[in-house]
Chain A
Amino acid sequence: MSWFTKFLSSSIGQKWIMALTGLFLMLFLVIHLIGNLQLLKDDGGEAFNTYAFFMTHNPLIKFVSISLYLFILWHAIQGIRLWRSNQAARGSRGYAVNYARSSEVSSRNMAWFGIVIFVFLLLHLYQFWLKMKLGVLPPAEVAAYDHPVQNLYLPVKEAFSNIYYVLFYVVSMVVVGFHLWHGFWSSFQTVGINHPRYNGLIKSVGYAYAVLMAVGFSFIPVYMYFVQQ
């Protein structure tokens, strides 16, 4: 085994994979949220569709997005593997009394949150991303380009006019928030960034980030459902 595969297959190396892929995904979420904010413009989807076209056609972003798919998969597969090996390490018999108060809900349930998020993601991709990739969406004219672009705004608007879908979306975002609540700080800890001077800052930023993401992503469908209808 080369030193690199040895590192990646060690317990700490596996955690580094989780942390680094996680940090990348967190960065992506910020970009995603900024993009989604285009939906709030009351322009019939013009800004959103412009943004969607840009994101799917810029060569650099296309390259980054391929790594994004890989990282999502890697993060998920690695996460499941860790979860299973951790369960094996606990042994076949658990405790009769489980005391949970010495740790946070978010930290103990990362795998469950991850699974919920993954299911959400599949649905999410099927509903929007896949349609875009297959090119089955109707065209829309935007000012920024001299040719029509795919109207991604249409399925989004349709989805967010369904109260059940909005609810499902919001619940999923809360789960994302929990996942990030622990994930942000945890990633820094895993890559060894822990210093008494900055621990408070890292934690505060992490919590703020988690809340911002959960609230930010949830706000859009809620707003669209109640205001833009």
Chain B
Amino acid sequence: MKLNLKIWRQGGNYKNGQFVQYELPNVNPHMSFLEMLDVLNEQLVSKREEPVAFEHDCREGICGTCSMVIDGRPHGPMKGTTTCQLHMRHYNDGDTIVIEPFRAKAFPVIKDLVVDRSAFDRIIQSGGYVSVNTGQAQDANSIPVEKDQAGRSFDAAACIGCGACVAACPNASAMLFTSAKVSHLALLPQGQVERKRRVLKMVAQMDKEGFGQCSNVKACEAECPKEISVSNIARMNREYASAAFTNESN
């Protein structure tokens, strides 16, 4: 099938950024979306033009590297699917597809569709861990965890850190990402010791990075490729207030 692509180009020959139109005549419906872009890039290289820069790595929907907004939706139209797992059979001959980078002040564009998401790393560094040195752990089975509770913790821990939540949010809020980590650890006995400290520090860092506030629009949940629930945000709201009001140290 034939596709028209309207892709955001920035950097290189497109200093300040602009949309550029491309035509792709032979798209196989079994291709993945990224393979379709590979074909476009091959075509551009053969014309000695600079290929479209986009980030990708595992192409299995787990590394969280791929990041683009397809027709206004992070990771495209399919529910619970990353861009790399989106296939062209969901498009029709003659379709025009608009591809843009994730947009948020905290995610500055590096080039074309590539953005800098290191703010997420800094949020985790601010407290998204259990402080246990290698070798300090007791026997694994000495900490029983209720099965369903472990499952809920897993649901939050399934976050791949792709940033689609921020890209989808009209406020560019990182609440879903941050709350998923807060929830993952708050739901486990291992996370209890640092529970208050963790949520206070992580929220402070999140605010410092320039993300917006949550206004419960829930676009994040709708676009999250791992379908992480906004109930995590409610949990973080609760955890944060409770920590702020009861924390005895600083």
Chain A interface residues (CB < 8 Å from chain B): 3-4, 6-7, 10-16, 82, 85-86, 88-99, 102-104, 107-108, 110, 182, 185-186, 189-194, 196, 199
23 contacts between A and B (CB under 8 A): A10-B203, A11-B207, A11-B214, A12-B203, A12-B240, A15-B215, A82-B213, A89-B106, A89-B210, A89-B212, A95-B72, A95-B103, A97-B71, A99-B72, A103-B217, A104-B217, A104-B218, A107-B217, A108-B170, A182-B216, A185-B216, A192-B238, A193-B238
Q: Which of A6, A11, A15, A97 contacts B244 (CB 8 A)?
A: A6
Q: Decide: A91 and B103 in contact? CB cutoff 8 A.
A: yes
Which residues from B are CB-within-8-Å of A108? 170, 217
B173: CB under 8 A from chain A? yes
Known contacts A12-B236, A90-B104, A191-B241; A99 and B73 CB within 8 A of each other: yes
Which residues of A sit under 8 angstroms from B247, Cβ to Cβ?
3
The total of interchain contacts (Cβ-Cβ below 8 angstroms) comes to: 145
Query: Does B206 interact with chain A (Cβ within 8 Å)?
Result: yes
Q: When the two chains form their complex, are residues B172 and A90 in contact, meaning their CB atoms are under 8 A apart? A: yes
A103-B222 contact given A15-B214, A110-B215, CB 8 Å threshold: yes
Which B residues are CB-close (under 8 A) to A12? Answer: 203, 213, 236-237, 240-241
Please give the distance in Å from B220's CB to the nearest CB on chain A.
9
- Give the distance to chain B from A210, nearest Cβ to Cβ, in Å: 15
The distance in angstroms between the C-alpha atoms of A15 and B217, with both chains bound, is: 13
For chain B, what secondary structure do more than half of its interface residues adopt (helix, strand, loop), or is it mixed? mixed
Q: Which residues of A contact B172 (CB under 8 A)?
A: 86, 89-91
Instruction: Kindly specify which of B30-38, B123-131, B134-142, B227-235 makes contact with the partner chain.
Output: B227-235
Shortest CB distance A206–B (Å): 12
Q: Please state if A96 and B100 are interface contacts (CB–CB under 8 Å).
A: yes
Which of B6, B168, B172, B213: most chain A CB closer than 10 A? B213
Chain B residues closer than 8 Å to A191, beta-carbon distance: 237-238, 241
Q: When A89-B104, A89-B106, A182-B216 are in contact, do A102 and B73 touch as well, CB less than 8 Å?
A: yes
When distances are taken between beta carbons in the complex, the residues of chain A under 8 Å from B230 are 189, 194
Chain A residues whose C-beta falls within 8 Å of the C-beta of B175 in the assembled complex? 11
**Is B110 engaged at the interface, CB distance under 8 Å to the other chain?**
no
Residues of B within 8 A of A90 (CB): 103-105, 170-172, 212
CB pair B72 A97 closer than 8 Å = yes
